[in-house]
Amino acid sequence: MARSVWTGAPPAATRSQAGPVAAAGNDFILADVIIAFDVSGRRLGRIVLPLWRHSMTLAEAMAEHCPTLPRLVDTAQGYKLRALPEQHAAELLSDSPYLPLLRQRYERSYVDLQAGYEGWLAGLSGNTRQTLRRKHRKLAQYAEGTIDVRMYRTPSDMAEFFPHARAISAASYQERLLASGLPENSLPVMTALAEQDMVRGFLLWIDGRPAAYLYAPAQGDTL
């Protein structure tokens, strides 16, 4: 199991004005973090806190690595940890005076693509394979034409990928109801990641029109 945790002192009225700052010796970033309060998709309010922020990588989680929290400086009011394995939460908070806030808790899964497509498919249950084949047949029947999946990875690729992905996202229920679509200002971030070969984009084209997208930033060799 994995979860996101915020720990810290009671919020103060001031914000960090220095912008994101890296902590020496680890992967924590000091930045202003928006904590929103939503009920049934409606935004009731939000607060902005300067927090030490860190997202656990797949490699760290598999190695059962417990992060070392940086020292709280005057401008930091706590920590925000994403994808923290459940067993580490008690360890981090055992001698801590801070109050934990659990934002999300759910099981995460990963796929080892080194085995190839056939190897991955063979590892699925018979019911899952049957479901995938049925969905593929339905897609082929719906399309009545060419189905194409294209990958995008370079900065120029991202300039082509983004407007199509953004248009799909804008019409999705994830954006309309959950406010979790692809942000309108994503292109500069995508381009910067592409310059480091740290992002992949995928578009599903049906009869020459983009129908679905997948945006996958990278952490090391993990998408």
Task: Assess whether pLDDT exceeds 70 at residue 1.
Answer: no
**Residue for token digits 């994101």?**
20
Task: Assess whether pLDDT exceeds 80 at residue 220.
Answer: no
For the four alpha carbons of 108, 102, 49 and 174, in that order, the dihedral sign comes to positive
Give the model's pLDDT for residue 9. Answer: 39
pLDDT higher at 203 or 147: 203
Beta bridge partners of 152: 201
pLDDT higher at 173 or 131: 131
Among 10-19, 53-62, 146-155, 211-220, the minimum mean pLDDT is found in 10-19
- The CA distances from residue 206 to 148, 188, 215, in Å, are 7, 28, 18
- Which among 60, 5, 1, 72 is positioned nearest to 27, based on CA atoms? 60
pLDDT higher at 17 or 211: 211
198: left (phi over 0), alpha (psi -120 to 50) or beta: alpha
Among 18-32, 100-114, 120-134, the minimum mean pLDDT is found in 18-32
Dist. CA 48–CA 37, nearest whole Å: 11
Give the model's pLDDT for residue 159. Answer: 94
Among 3-12, 18-27, 57-66, the minimum mean pLDDT is found in 3-12
Give the model's pLDDT for residue 26. Answer: 56
Average pLDDT on 106-123 reads: 85
Which H or E run includes 129?
Answer: helix 126-143
- Alpha carbon dihedral 210, 213, 218, 223, in 10-degree steps, equals -120
Average pLDDT on 103-126 reads: 85
Dist. CA 178–CA 105, nearest whole Å: 17
pLDDT higher at 13 or 33: 33
Domain ranges of the chain: 2-106, 113-143, 145-223
H-type alpha helices, 1-85: 58-62
What confidence category does residue 147 fall into, taking pLDDT thresholds of 50, 70 and 90? confident
Task: Assess whether pLDDT exceeds 70 at residue 7.
Answer: no
Dist. CA 69–CA 79, nearest whole Å: 8
What confidence category does residue 11 fall into, taking pLDDT thresholds of 50, 70 and 90? very low
Q: Which amino acid is at 64?
A: E
pLDDT higher at 134 or 23: 134
Q: What is the pLDDT of residues 54-65, one digit of tens each?
A: 888 888 888 877
The mean predicted confidence, pLDDT, of the chain is 80
Dist. CA 35–CA 79, nearest whole Å: 12
For the four alpha carbons of 52, 53, 58 and 64, in that order, the dihedral sign comes to positive
How many C-beta atoms lie closer than 10 Å to residue 55's C-beta? 15
